[in-house]
């Protein structure tokens, strides 16, 4: 899913509130380190004659090390930038919701009004005819509406950015 339009709109917010930042690989490296710790514990403290415990620790440790290295390496090599909220010091969460084509107009009206509750109560589907892409943090939500047409997704309208902090005060 091409999210360039919504990301550009977020990055254009005044004061550098949202900036592009590389995806973190910290969690994958922690998983790999836990795997190494399991392998170390297995080799130092577990008697190889205890087959089930020995094999369980070995399997879990190897799986965790491989997962951490492969997924972390792919994220690092890909170098993908994602929206980062500088005020909250956290990555914005990505979410896609799928709707039937008949909901295009109600979705656009709800986005114009900034009515998040109306968007949350609309029935979704598993077929991606219309996709509502959302990046959210505690204080901001950004939406982009796309329609599947002729084997590609086309953006409908401009991205909508809602400042939740201002609307609650």
DSSP 70-106: HHHHHHHHH--EEEEETTTTEEPEEEEEEE-GGGHHH
Question: What is d(CA 72, CA 75) in angstroms, rounded to the nearest whole number?
Answer: 5
- pLDDT, mean of residues 147-165: 85
Q: What is the structure's pLDDT at 32?
A: 96
Phi/psi of residue 51, each to 5°?
-50, -50
Q: What is the structure's pLDDT at 124?
A: 92
How sure is the predictor about 169, in pLDDT bands with cuts at 50, 70 and 90?
very low
Question: What is d(CA 55, CA 49) in angstroms, rounded to the nearest whole number?
Answer: 10
Q: What is the structure's pLDDT at 162?
A: 87
* CA distances to 30, 83, 127, 141 from 136, in Å: 25, 9, 23, 4
- pLDDT, mean of residues 143-165: 86
How sure is the predictor about 166, in pLDDT bands with cuts at 50, 70 and 90?
low
Q: Of 32, 108, 115, 43, give the one whose Cα is nearest residue 69.
A: 32
Q: What is the structure's pLDDT at 50?
A: 78
Beta carbons of 92 and 83 less than 8 angstroms apart: yes
| pLDDT over 60 (residue 168) | no
CB atoms within 10 A of CB 101: 12
pLDDT tens digits for 59-113?
999 999 999 999 999 988 988 888 999 888 899 999 999 999 999 999 999 999 9
In the chain, helix, strand, coil percent, each to 5? Answer: 50, 30, 20
Break the chain into its structural domains and give their ranges. Answer: 26-78, 92-168
Beta carbons of 38 and 60 less than 8 angstroms apart: yes
Q: Of 145, 140, 156, give the one whose Cα is nearest residue 119.
A: 145
């Amino acid at each position: 899913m091409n999210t360039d339009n919504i990301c550009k709109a977020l990055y254009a917010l005044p004061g550098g509130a949202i900036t592009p930042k590389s995806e973190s690989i910290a969690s994958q490296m922690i998983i790999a380190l836990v795997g190494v710790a399991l392998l170390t514990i297995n080799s130092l403290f577990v008697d190889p004659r205890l087959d089930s415990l020995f094999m369980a620790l070995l399997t879990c440790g190897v799986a965790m090390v491989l997962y951490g290295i492969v997924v972390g390496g792919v994220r690092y090599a890909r170098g993908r930038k994602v929206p980062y909220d500088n005020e909250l010091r956290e990555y914005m969460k990505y979410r896609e919701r799928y709707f039937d084509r008949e909901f295009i107009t109600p979705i656009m009206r709800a986005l114009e009004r900034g009515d998040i509750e109306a968007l949350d109560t609309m029935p979704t589907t598993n077929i991606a005819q219309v996709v509502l892409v959302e990046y959210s943090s505690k204080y901001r939500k950004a939406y982009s509406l796309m329609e599947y047409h002729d084997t590609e997704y086309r953006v409908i309208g401009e991205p909508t950015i809602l400042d939740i902090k201002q609307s609650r005060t």
